[in-house]
Structure 1
Amino acid sequence: MDFEYSKRSKELQQRLSLFMEQHIFPVEQEVYAFHANPDNRWKKWPGLENLKEKAREAGLWNLFLPKDYGSLSAGLTNLEYAPLAALMGRVIWASEVFNCSAPDTGNMEVLAKYGDDAQQQKWLLPLMNGEIRSAFLMTEPEVASSDATNIETSIRLEGDSYVINGRKWWSSGGMDPNCKIAIVMGKTDFDAPRHQQQSMILVPMDTPGVNIIRPLSVFGFYDSPEGHAEIVLDNVRVPKGNLLLGEGRGFEIAQGRLGPGRIHHCMRLTGMAQRALEMMALRVSERVAFGRKFKDFSSIRQEIALSQCEVEQARLLTLSAADKMDKKGNKEAKELIAMIKIIAPKMALQVIDRAIQIHGGKGVGPDTPLAHYFAAARMLRLADGPDEVHLYQLGKMIIAKHSSKTDENE
């Protein structure tokens, strides 16, 4: 592949970097402090809508959607979007300013790819306009949800409606005050073949029987205001037309959704890790211990050198996966997607941990984003499939590929 970014991607990188410097970094601590107040946890920071409007005016809106969707989408390829996601990832909450935050990005891709005209008009357009937010409900507390075929939520057809019953948790976006719609994965036929039991359905959050039980924190961070919710679906009744694609197509939709979602997470992780590295380099240039600046200690230099190597390795692997997704499709890129989903969170954790260590007490406190970075990166070793699942599937694919070559030669 050609690692040279397109002219359009370079121009957007410049504009996005300038926007971050002018509008995001100056208010970063203000936003974190606002949401650290329990009274504001599930409220929007008052300046958010103004920033979103500025982003739209700057042409930095809906950058993630890999194919054009009218005037609302930038129509970038995954490779063009990758460095932009990394720039946004430097501040955990920044992606929403550009309407590029999870789980909305994945939900918008699902609606764009699998939704019918009515579903797109009612839910996709408001999401792409940034008027509402959304949630994704798949994981369940009672089963090993790393195997999506285990889920037990039922979606039962009754006349012209589907009735949904189940318990979900880690429902990303579920706490957001602007969350109006959820995509729910459940089973329409428990007796069908294993990968044809699941379906996905659109559930408005104000539907009777949608009960938010509690927000879930990650190492004490609530990821306000979108959060992660535990939700009980108690005889939730929605119109038959809310089903996506058709009965038994849920697993197919999930695979289509998670490929881009995984790569987006990895893009943002490289941005987090790169900023942690830059913070490390600045810290060691300023601090003195035992009569010498930190930067003059050989061990410190080695830590920073290793960190840059690891960030660059993950960045290039991410770009390789993005390029193959663009040229061959998500299915053909599944090995590279699995590789980067395994590598990127671990890389980020290593680099962020070194940055925390070098910052000392400041690194674990509220005065830098490092502790929140660490929590986010650790969670992403579980989100969109834990490491073990990706390692298992990747190993299976590699063995099958090379053993088939051996068989051909015999």
Structure 2
Amino acid sequence: MNRVKPCCLWRPRRAALLALAGLLCASVARADNLDSWNIFVGTNVTYYSNLFLLPASADARLLIGTSDKSDILTATTLGLKVSKPYSMQRFELDLNIIDYRYRNFDYLNFTAPNYTAAWRWSLTPYLTGNLTSSYQESMNNFYDTRNFRRQNLRTVENQRFDADLNLGAGWHLLGGVTQDVSKNSEIFVAEGDTTINSLEAGGRYVFTSGTTLKYINRTGRGVYDNRPVPIPVVLLDNQFDQTINELSLKWPITDKTSLDARIGWLDRSHDTYTERDFSGTIGALSVNWNITDKTLIRGGWTRQLSAYETLYSSYTATDNFYVNPVWQMSAKTALRFRYDYATIDYKGAIAPTSLNGRNDTLNTALLAVDWQPLNALSLSATVTDSRRTSSAPDSDYKNATAGINVQFSF
């Protein structure tokens, strides 16, 4: 298979981000009525009944050092949002620092500096695009992580340049280059550290009704950053090629109803161990329906394929169905509900084990109330219930959460 080695991929330095932040902050200092900027501070306090997602049969004292599986997480956020136009260009920055503090398991505490920066560039009204950079840091989910005594953070970085050439008569020519980097602070073999460099090309057609139809081919070259050479004992490769072909549709059916859909095919092939190769259908479907001026309902489905390298699997296929009604009770108050039903199939076993053919089912329900008494103040309260049933022994769990979020903006 031909390997893509994009020579034009750029890896921006943090100094570039700081320069952009300085430019935007200077704009804030002399902001006028045409500028859009916002500083915000907020606190979210959440109670978890089962922080580590332990099964009922687990010996919590042995695994986490206490019989109390619950915890309270306080997340404090300081953020800045800026959107600044310069002639035909627009510069955007969404920067936030989030401090996470756990009441009981304080060795999990961390502070995450997250950002998204973008240059919405335009050479002419017919040639436009985006230059973006983002960095996100979060705690690895305890869904399948069983190292409960150590903190394991996951960072995701994305650098992207894309262009859109308007050919006229509704036709657009699309192209782009992307770098995606994912890292764990502790080794997690099933989902290793990766860097993927990708090129994409395609086209979009915009109907006079506002409906858009788009096709994209994305071809990438990936490496496992913490594997300089393949590991033959468990057939872990250190490099792979990945191709995605995707067709998407945005359809404003009526003034009150819209549909977004995409369907595609993903193919990943490894250099050394073809036993780890996988391919299949990916996609999503979402429908938005404004039933009345105060009532909205969303619903949909997503399907993802993701590498998950163990003896009993090489990848997972996840199907998620959801429904999300929203009731705008008043101009300042809204009630939200969301229910997700997901199945996860573990496929591509490389050895006979008792976990071959593993299948998980997840049910998650959320109820929330949002209240904005002032333009500068918003509050929300949420409760959730999540449950997993699994064919893997001792993997079922239940977890309930309750949280309050307060945010000031100025």
Q: Shared fold (TM-score greater than 0.5)?
A: no
Relative to total residues, which structure has the larger helix share, 1 or 2?
A: 1
Relative to total residues, which structure has the larger strand share, 1 or 2?
A: 2
Query: What TM-score range do you get, normalising by the shorter chain?
Result: under 0.3
If the length of structure 1 is used for normalisation, what is the TM-score?
0.21
